[in-house]
Each structure stands twice: as C-alpha cells, then as structure tokens.
Amino acid sequence: MLKMKNIIAIQGAEGSNHHKVARDFYGDKVQLNECLSFDALVDSLLDKTSDKGIMAIENTIAGSIIPNYALIDANNLYISGEEYLNIHHHLMALAGQKIEDIKEVCSHPMALLQCKEFFKKYPHIKLVEDVDTAEVAKRISKNQLKGVAAIAPKLAADLFGLEVIEDEIQTMKNNATRFVIVQTEKPNNGIDRINKASLKFQLDHKRGSLAAILNVLSDCKMSLTKIQSLPVIESPWKYSFFVDVTFDDYKEYEKAIAVITIMALELKVLGTYKNGRK
C-alpha cells in the first residue's frame, strides 16, 4: 500500500470498484475526485485538479475497454501502476425489503449485463441503465427510495447504510477487472520494482512486421501478457499495437526497446511499473 496524499480521480462515486482500488492502492483515507466519465477523469488530470487517476482497462468477461486505451494514448498519459480486482456484484436496497418488494434495479450497463441471468428469475423487476453502480446506491440512501435496488460492491452498502438482499449475483463468478494508475508526469518507479511495461508501436503494413517484433520480445525474454490493436485515426486500414510485457531482467527490457525503436515506425512507452498480478 502506498502512503501518499495525492488527489486521486476515479470514474464513478465513492463505494464503486474504482474507489475500492483507490483504497487498496493508497489507503483508506485517500482523497477522491469523483468523475462521472473517463473523459472527465482525464480532464481533471490535464487541468491539475487531480494528481493521478484510476481507470479500468480490461475485464475477463467484457475484454478490453478500447476507449480508455485511446484516452491514455491521445492525452499522452503515463501508466505508473496497476491492480487486478475480483468483481463482486451485490443487490442492495433500503433495510427491511425483500427481493419481492423490488420493482426497479438501476445500475451501470456493464453490471446489468453481468447479472442478466440472475434477473431472468424475477421478471417483475425493471432493469434501468444508469451512469454508475455506487451512485445509484447513494441516491437510494439519500432519497430513501423504496422498491428500488442497486447493483454495487459491498463497500457501497457499508458507506450508505443499505442492506444486501442478494450476494454474488454475477453470472460468471471468475469476473476480474484490471485497473491502471495514470498520470501526466513520467513515473519515477525504481528499476528494482519494475517488471512490467506497456508499449504502443506502429509498423509498416507488410508481411511479417508484427511477427518480427514479437520475436524480439521473445529473444529478450519478455512475456507478452496483452496485445490490442487500434486503428490509426485518419489512416484507413493502418493500426497501432498496444502490448503489455513482463520481464525479470530490466537490461533485457532496455535491449528490446532499443531494437524495437529501430524496427517500428513509432514507439511509445506508456509506462513501466510493478506487475499487479499476485
């Protein structure tokens, strides 16, 4: 756990999974800047309202969150850390209610999608898309809304005095999200703590160009943990590649970067940091 007094921007409200990651990473007394969108989160970093931001980047069920890759790249943000969080969805409402009393469930579209099978057993419940899981829980508590439930982490129930009606309602129990810590300044992570890097490169559109880069990574003892392609704006059928690699020897990483710099049309190091996988 890092003990810092930075203002940390999160997408969503207190009680959300982004809040949980902030607490895990920076401690229970972390100072939050709650943002209702990832665009607003990035803006808060650019205008110095926040010092660092926490962004979900991929999920084991939904896959890559493509717009967030684009946001990090377009705004020249750096990744300084990461955390993997097992996602648990709980149905919560004002105390004293049963699921038969619930007429409406509001939550983020992704949470609703991940709990779709559960609600097939309760056709009387109307599912309503909302901007954030924890924000709904907060609204239910503040306005004392009966007959309305939220899907949110247990942290939200604790913060807003709600009662969990049903535990673990997500369809897939092995549901995890990877979050990255982003900032505008190049991180000053110690080499002895660095064993993962996020890179972006663009290649000539010719046979074998990607395979050649992957061979370099392999020769330098890099383990490829993620590869994602994004179209190059205003250049039809051209793509940039975003990759994550882990390594044991920082010198081997430096050697790989030196070679790829020569081979690629463009190379950007998005961040070097400690692998968040336990």
| Residue 228 pLDDT class (50, 70, 90 cuts) | very high
What tokens does 244 get?
Answer: 């994550």
Mean pLDDT calculated for residue range 42-53: 97
Model pLDDT for residues 69-84, shown as the tens digit of each residue: 999 999 999 999 999 9
pLDDT reported for residue 270: 97
Is the pLDDT reported for residue 3 higher than 50? no
| pLDDT at residue 175 in the model | 87
pLDDT tens per residue, range 85-102: 999 999 999 999 999 999
Q: Do 90-166 and 191-273 fold alike per CATH?
A: no
The pLDDT of 222-231, averaged and rounded, is 94
- Cα–Cα dist 209/129, whole Å: 43
Tell me the pLDDT tens digit for each residue of 243-264: 999 999 999 999 999 999 999 9
Do 36 and 95 touch, CB atoms closer than 8 A? no
Per residue in 139-155, pLDDT tens? 999 999 999 999 999 99
pLDDT at 5 (0 to 100): 58
Residue 104 has pLDDT above 50, yes or no: yes
| Confidence bin at 11 (pLDDT 50/70/90) | very high
Q: Which of 6-10, 146-150, 231-235 has the lowest mean pLDDT?
A: 231-235
Average pLDDT of the residues in 120-138: 95
Q: Model's pTM, two decimal places?
A: 0.89
**Residue 278, pLDDT score:** 62
Length reported for the chain: 278
The CATH code belonging to domain 7-86+175-183 is: 3.40.190.10
What share of the chain in percent tops pLDDT 70?
Answer: 98
CATH number of 191-273: 3.30.70.260
What is d(CA 66, CA 257) in angstroms, rounded to the nearest whole number? 24
Q: pLDDT value at position 1?
A: 45
Query: Where exactly are the structural domains of the chain?
Result: 7-86+175-183, 90-166, 191-273
**pLDDT computed for residue 103 by the predictor:** 98
Q: Using pLDDT thresholds of 50, 70 and 90, give the confidence band for residue 238.
A: confident
Residue 173 has a pLDDT of: 84
**Stronger pLDDT, 245 or 205, i.e. the higher one:** 245
Q: In this predicted structure, what is the pLDDT of residue 4?
A: 47
Name the amino acid, one letter, at 216: V
Domain 90-166 CATH (choose: 3.30.540.10, 3.40.190.10, 1.10.3720.10, 3.40.50.300): 3.40.190.10
pLDDT at 256: 98
The overall average pLDDT reported for the chain is: 93
